[in-house]
Amino acid sequence: MKDVKDLTAEEAARELEHLAAEMAKSDIAYYQNDAPYLSDAEYDRLKHRNLEIEARFPQLIRADSPSKRVGAAVKSGFSKITHRFPMLSLGDIFSIEEVEDFIRSVKRFLNTTEEIAFMSEPKIDGLSFSARYENGVFVQGATRGDGTTGEDITENLKTIRSLPLQLKNAPDVLEVRGEVYMSKADFFELNERYEKEGRKTFANPRNAAAGSLRQLDPKITAERNLSMFAYTWGEVSERPWESQQDFFNHLNDWGFPTNPNNTLCRSVKEIEESFARLMEIRASLPYDIDGVVYKVNSIALQERLGFLTRTPRWAIAHKFPAEQALTTVNAIRIQVGRTGALTPVADLEPVNVGGVIVSHATLHNEDEIKRKDIRVGDTVVIQRAGDVIPQIVAVVTEKRSPDSVEFEFPHVCPQCGAHAVREEDEAVRRCTGGLSCPAQAIERMIHFVSRDAFDIAGLGDKIIEDFYREGILHTPADIFTLESRNRGGDDLFSAGTGLHLERKEGWGKKSVENLFLAIRDKRAISLPRFIYALGIRQVGTATALLIAKNYGSFRNFMNDMINKETGKLVAIDGIGASMATDMVEFFGEPHNIEIVNRLLSEVTVEDYIDTTDYNSPIAGKTIVFTGTLERMTRSEAKAKAQSLGAKVAGSVSAHTDYVVVGADAGSKAVKAKELGIAILSEEEFLELAK
Ligand code: IVH
């Protein structure tokens, strides 16, 4: 292959065309047929080559270039698009009788007694879109909006890899419409990440898809892994298809994914079977569907049937029953977390909700129980939204027994009996038992050995709990004496007193040996991990790192905390007064000091060595972050910048060197522009910070 610098413009144009075609083919194979034909590495190589050529010949960048999928510039707002053909909605029905009514009314309208064929299609629970192609090139994308005007999401749609950017043998004007969705797996992954970063999570995949598609910064859309199915059309300059089924074939030829469960039904019976089948596979599909759409297959008949005001006469949505059910509350249990938070959970009489057996529901907190007046013995409506934890929607008070009593939230910890107090303006009540509370002790040890802390894989949650209950482990330091205590029986003086873990059920010599090996391996620990492992409220990994950097050694940090000396702490960018209070409180607790001291006699906490790169391109510069960052939390970004020798400031001034803008950036971005300060996108910052 020729070096890019040796290419003529003509050769470059030819190669770009070839690259676009090749990658489009691969996208189709991957997204439509589920049969990748380029490996990830090959795909990346093509993508890279494409970028290289485009960098040298920017005038040759094609409308359908794969590089367009990474997301164009951030916009200040969505512009409106008026649909040339309105995007209609569908009438809803909920029962088999209504399906029969619908078919009867279609026949009556057409004045026929013959069977009519219908397409049965899963109703994808996503966000509808319209994609306009002119002369085979994708030119515009829109949301449905109110059906008449939608928002311009052209750049966002481009980032969806299953949407073809170029069509062969398509009408000069063609609007393809369909549904953008987020798979259940991607939804959970996204929410998990958000949860970890302390950000607000999405209620269901549909909301996540909507939130991801309607992003002013298409780069964010690009990272979200959205997918789509095409199912209808808007404006077309010609219509070489005779039926809905025929249209699906055309869609596939052009490279659009269509739903593999679309089926042609020739009788009421087949329609009903298709509904039953989709209902059955619903839970196992990788995306959410909320019903089945039936469409008269013949376009000629569709045209005769026409429209009611906002819905077609030739199609209808048969919705699945809501994922709600009635059941009774058997008990209200209070769980106690690592920081002592009491969380109420309802134990329910097991019930089938949309194909899933539900036996627990979260009650969030004390106020939630009060607000909904949920009592033990109540009949309640429970709801499963997508796959999130079931919730109690309401109490059926008519069914309440006359002798039922209001639930009284305990003021003592159900695990240890210590007072459970609720600070003013806090929603949670907390146990004050600290480590004498078994629940907190166990949760804290689980945290102690977790991945970002001591990372001792052999000590799972269940083992910690069992060991605690059996008196083998009380506090984290006990983990490090396990081995010597286990050997107890080997020396003369303590004959027979060993733990002999290898004799326990489920354990053998080998697994015990492996556990000890894993523990020995953690006797030396880095300062940030150690601080994080202590499980101080509000001290996550990023904060632990900041503390490590600024104090250098655990002793320095601990001494300050014991002396309630927080000046140095709150001077750290990213650490506020409320965090400082939590830290001082932690070290003000004699229990905790004892635990920490015992730990320090078992493990070596390595001092933090400053690895700041003072030669980095941003060393010595002052950076301001603003807006919502997508690839990292604000603390991570700050930590990253600081590790490269930059100073991170909270506000923009004449001394600022760079302003890094995330999504929905506000006044700081404006001020930076006014002052002529260099503005970086998150990507550009990451590039600089590499
Ligand atoms: S056809 C005129 N087919 O359901 C017909 N819609 O209330 C237009 N939807 O707004 C829609 N899957 O967002 C059609 N296979 C499917 C669909 C589908 C999901 C959504 C679409 C529409 C709503 C109807």
What CATH number does the domain containing 565 carry? Answer: 1.10.150.20
Shared domain check, 453 and 338: no
The percentage of residues in the chain with a pLDDT greater than 70, rounded to a whole number, is 95
605 touches ligand 1 (CB under 6 Å): no
At 120 the three-state DSSP class reads strand
Give 462-468's long-range contacts (Cβ < 8 A, gap of 24+): 468/438, 468/441, 468/442
Shared domain check, 362 and 238: no
Q: Encoding tokens for residue 296?
A: 């008269």
Counted residue by residue, the chain has a size of 690
Shared domain check, 203 and 128: yes
Please tell me the predicted confidence (pLDDT) of residue 246: 97
CATH number of the domain enclosing 273: 3.30.470.30
Contacts of 121 (CB under 8 A, 6+ apart): 231, 259, 261, 262, 292, 293, 294, 295
Which one has a higher pLDDT value, 41 or 282? 282
Q: Which atom of ligand 1 is nearest to the CA of 125?
A: 19
Q: Encoding tokens for residue 676?
A: 């002529």
Which one has a higher pLDDT value, 380 or 74? 380
The answer to whether position 542 is within a domain reads yes
Please tell me the predicted confidence (pLDDT) of residue 675: 86
CATH number of the domain enclosing 351: 2.40.50.140
Please tell me the predicted confidence (pLDDT) of residue 104: 95
Contacts of 281 (CB under 8 A, 6+ apart): 261
Nearest CA to ligand 1 atom 9: 123
Shared domain check, 572 and 423: no
Please tell me the predicted confidence (pLDDT) of residue 541: 85
Domain count, the chain: 6
**CB-count burial class (<10 Å; 0-12, 13-18, 19+) for 382:** buried
> Pick from 458, 489, 522: which residue ends a domain?
522
Shared domain check, 548 and 467: no
Tell me what the pLDDT averaged over the chain comes to: 89
Q: What is the pTM of this model?
A: 0.51
The answer to whether position 84 is within a domain reads no
Shared domain check, 529 and 518: no
pLDDT at 486 exceeding the cut of 70: yes
**CB-count burial class (<10 Å; 0-12, 13-18, 19+) for 390:** buried
Q: Which of 227-241, 253-267, 482-496 has the lowest mean pLDDT?
A: 482-496
Structural domain of 52 = 4-69
Position of tokens 């087949």? 270
Shared domain check, 151 and 105: yes
pLDDT at 195 exceeding the cut of 90: no
Q: Which of 349-353, 548-552, 555-559 has the lowest mean pLDDT?
A: 349-353
Mean pLDDT of 108-118: 94
Q: Which atom of ligand 1 is nearest to the CA of 144?
A: 10
pLDDT at 605 exceeding the cut of 50: yes
Q: Encoding tokens for residue 509?
A: 């010599």
> Pick from 297, 319, 341: which residue ends a domain?
319
293 touches ligand 1 (CB under 6 Å): yes
For 420-456, what is each residue's pLDDT tens digit? Answer: 999 887 889 999 888 779 999 999 999 999 988 999 9
Please tell me the predicted confidence (pLDDT) of residue 354: 64
Give 105-111's long-range contacts (Cβ < 8 A, gap of 24+): 105/313, 106/296, 106/305, 106/313, 106/314, 109/304, 109/305, 109/313, 110/301, 110/304, 110/305
Shared domain check, 545 and 640: no
Of 198, 120, 168, which Cα lies nearest the Cα of 24?
Answer: 168
Shared domain check, 229 and 168: yes
For 458-480, what is each residue's pLDDT tens digit? Answer: 899 999 999 999 999 999 999 99
CA 430 – CA 135 distance, rounded (Å) = 65
CATH number of the domain enclosing 41: 1.10.287.610
Task: Determine the distance separating the centroid of ligand 1 and the alpha carbon of 666, expressed in angstroms.
Answer: 36
Which residues are registered as beta bridge partners of 626?
661
Shared domain check, 422 and 452: no
Q: Is 148:86 a contact under the CB 8 Å cutoff?
A: yes
Of 515, 531, 616, 614, which Cα lies nearest the Cα of 575?
Answer: 531
Query: What is the band of 70 on the pLDDT scale with cuts at 50, 70, 90?
Result: low
pLDDT at 72 exceeding the cut of 70: no
179 touches ligand 1 (CB under 6 Å): yes
The answer to whether position 9 is within a domain reads yes
pLDDT at 240 exceeding the cut of 90: yes
Burial 94-103 (b: 16+ CB within 10 A, else e): eeeeebeebb
Of 175, 173, 164, 177, which Cα lies nearest the Cα of 63?
Answer: 164
Burial 210-230 (b: 16+ CB within 10 A, else e): bbbbebbbbbbbbbbbbbbbb
15 touches ligand 1 (CB under 6 Å): no
**Residue 405: alpha-carbon gap to chain centroid:** 39
pLDDT at 511 exceeding the cut of 70: yes
Planar angle of CA 415, 417, 420, nearest 5 degrees: 95
For 293-324, what is each residue's pLDDT tens digit? Answer: 999 999 999 999 998 877 899 999 998 876 77
310-to-128, 233, 475 alpha-carbon distances in Å: 16, 16, 66
229 touches ligand 1 (CB under 6 Å): no
The answer to whether position 61 is within a domain reads yes
> Pick from 582, 606, 630: which residue ends a domain?
606
Task: Determine the distance separating the centroid of ligand 1 and the alpha carbon of 123, expressed in angstroms.
Answer: 6
The answer to whether position 415 is within a domain reads yes
Hey, which residues are catalytic here?
123
Please tell me the predicted confidence (pLDDT) of residue 387: 46
Please tell me the predicted confidence (pLDDT) of residue 494: 46
539 touches ligand 1 (CB under 6 Å): no
CA 79 – CA 150 distance, rounded (Å) = 9
Please tell me the predicted confidence (pLDDT) of residue 688: 86
The answer to whether position 647 is within a domain reads yes
Mutation pick for ligand 1 pocket among 128, 299, 303, 307 (CB with most ligand atoms within 8 Å): 128
The answer to whether position 611 is within a domain reads no
Mean pLDDT of 115-127: 96
pLDDT at 490 exceeding the cut of 70: no
CB atoms within 10 A of CB 56: 13
Please tell me the predicted confidence (pLDDT) of residue 300: 96
Q: Is 435:595 a contact under the CB 8 Å cutoff?
A: yes
Shared domain check, 471 and 378: no
Shared domain check, 161 and 55: no
The answer to whether position 87 is within a domain reads no
CA 392 – CA 439 distance, rounded (Å) = 26
CA 580 – CA 45 distance, rounded (Å) = 49
Position of tokens 């194979």? 29
pLDDT at 540 exceeding the cut of 80: yes
288 touches ligand 1 (CB under 6 Å): no
Nearest CA to ligand 1 atom 23: 89
Q: Encoding tokens for residue 224?
A: 């979200």
CA 366 – CA 212 distance, rounded (Å) = 33
* DSSP annotation string for 605-648: EEPPP----TTSTTTT-EEEEESB-SSS-HHHHHHHHHHTT-EE
For 646-664, what is each residue's pLDDT tens digit? Answer: 888 888 888 899 999 988 7
CA 248 – CA 262 distance, rounded (Å) = 9
Q: Encoding tokens for residue 398?
A: 């008519």
Of 351, 365, 361, 371, which Cα lies nearest the Cα of 391?
Answer: 361
